[in-house]
Amino acid sequence: MPDRFDLPAGFRWGAATAAYQIEGAVTEDGRGPSVWDTFAARPGAVRDGHTGAVACDHYHRHPEDIALMRGLGLDGYRFSVAWTRVLPTGSGAVNAAGLAFYDRLVDALLEAGITPLPTLFHWDLPQGLEDGGGWLNRDTAYRFAEYAGIVADRLGDRVPAWITLNEPFVHTVFGYALGTHAPGRTLMFEALPAAHHQLLGHGLAAAVLHDRGLDVMLSNNLTPVEPASPAPADVAAAEAYDALHNRVFTDPVLLGRYPGLAALGVPDDLYGAVRPGDLDLIHTPGLDGLGLNFYNPTRIAAPTGPGGLPFDFAEWPDAPRTAFGWPVVPEALTRLLLSLRDTYGKALPPLTITENGCSVDESTTPDQPRIDFMSAHLDALAHATTEGIDVRGYYAWSLLDNFEWAEGYHQRFGLVHVDFATCERTPRASYGWYRDLIAAHRAKRAVR
């Protein structure tokens, strides 16, 4: 069986974070409020009332964090740009101090020999745009493309590749359909215009970045969806869920069309959001890479009662669980990668794992589950590459323990432990393991 040492030569090793989850300094240097500042302040929205106001204080401690990355021997670092540092209300006058922060960050990364991989939108929409409807308003897509151009004009001379959006599925469903994330709307399927407008924003921003000669990627959290049984009703429910979770966010970008959503009772024009010509704007035949954030597969059954959703979530049988309760099924990553080739064929761009990792409960376990999780997923990834799937890199989620959205500081995903009372960083066993793996992989590839 292939293992992680069989990953190809030139494979890029990285770690990932996101602005609101680590930066803190939410009112400093002219940063405007985002939907996450507003949401986290709402009583009961985030577990134990935690907010990202301080988080890991990365805004001030980034030199220390870059030293930690250098210690790992990373090739790349994926971070996100906070839109409200650059444009405090989402559009209008540029906040020079905010842009300067990312300028310093990029320079410091390059000095450490680490390639910056910025994500332009990781869920922290400017509150100023939310006040005008957020992603439910088509205009937000155009504001996003303008913002992309501003950041690219400043950093594009040093940053070769960019991710437009992070996980538009999660942002749409948790943020707009269920209300468990910012901005906390509960529109159920009528949230789908927010998905369409994010994808439109992706397409418009991709054109802006391509015009400047930059590479463009999109990061989706794809999940292989398996029916709970071979019964036709379970298979049909699984197909409907696959369309909603995976295909809505990938088909338009790679194929220029939406999957049929009739099984979900959703109109083809996504409640009037899809206008003539939109799919040409979203379709990105020259997409330079598809980012995959992989955590777990999904098991779906037919709904048991009338009304409600056209699918039910089923337990994944016989799998260990992370501290978050997510099933650990590494071979599902191999299946996902192979199925992407079957679904998209030549339209599938090179892949990069832009997030993978797990939260570990420190009160009951040491760090070994994280090492086991990452090793097994890297083996599964190597398996897919030996089957001919083009995977170019792996970014561990996450460099640091951080603000895990609605869970606050309760889920610890870091290779580095953070004491949130003092912001002190302490590398975990998985940090040493990852550092040694990166070095060993490089050494093995160098002698071939």
424 is catalytic: no
The distance of closest approach from Cβ of residue 16 to ligand FCB in the complex, given in angstroms and rounded to an integer, is 8
Cα–Cα distance, 178 to 82 (Å, whole number): 24
Residue closer to ligand FCB, measured from CB, 358 or 380 = 358
**Site membership for ligand FCB, residue 367 (CB under 6 A):** no
By C-beta, is 249 or 405 nearer to ligand FCB? 405
| Position 413 contacts ligand FCB (CB under 6 A) | yes
130, 167, 239, 404: which is the annotated catalytic residue?
167
In b/e form, how buried is each residue of 291-311, taking b as 16+ CB within 10 angstroms? bbbbbbbbbbbbeeeeeeebb
409 binding ligand FCB? (CB under 6 A)? no
Give 175 or 227: the residue with its C-beta nearer to ligand FCB: 175
Q: Is 167 a catalytic residue?
A: yes
Q: Which positions from 13 through 42 interact with ligand FCB, judged by CB under 6 A?
A: 18, 21
Does 405 help bind ligand FCB (rule: CB under 6 A)?
yes
The nearer residue to ligand FCB, 18 or 270, going by C-beta atoms, is 18
Other beta carbons within 10 angstroms of residue 322's beta carbon come to 21
Judged by CB under 6 A, the stretch of 137-145, 163-171, 197-205, 280-288 that binds ligand FCB is 163-171
Residues forming a β-bridge with 34? 126
Q: Applying CB under 6 A, which of residues 167, 234, 239, 251 lies at the interface with ligand FCB? A: 167
Cβ-based neighbours of 309, under 8 Å, separated by 6 or more: 303
85 to 124: interface string for ligand FCB, x by CB under 6 A: ----------------------------------------
Least distance (Å) between residue 397 CB and ligand FCB: 5
Contact pick of 15, 19, 170, 228 for ligand FCB (by CB under 6 A): 170
Establish if 397 lies at the interface with ligand FCB (CB under 6 A): yes
Output 326 or 433, the one with its CB closest to ligand FCB.
326
Which tokens hold the place of 331? 């071979």
Listed residue (329, 294, 299) closest to 311, CA to CA: 299
CB of 404 to ligand FCB, least distance (A): 5
Enzyme catalytic residues = 167, 355
Site residues (CB under 6 A) for ligand FCB? 18, 21, 166-167, 170, 221, 293, 355, 397, 404-405, 413
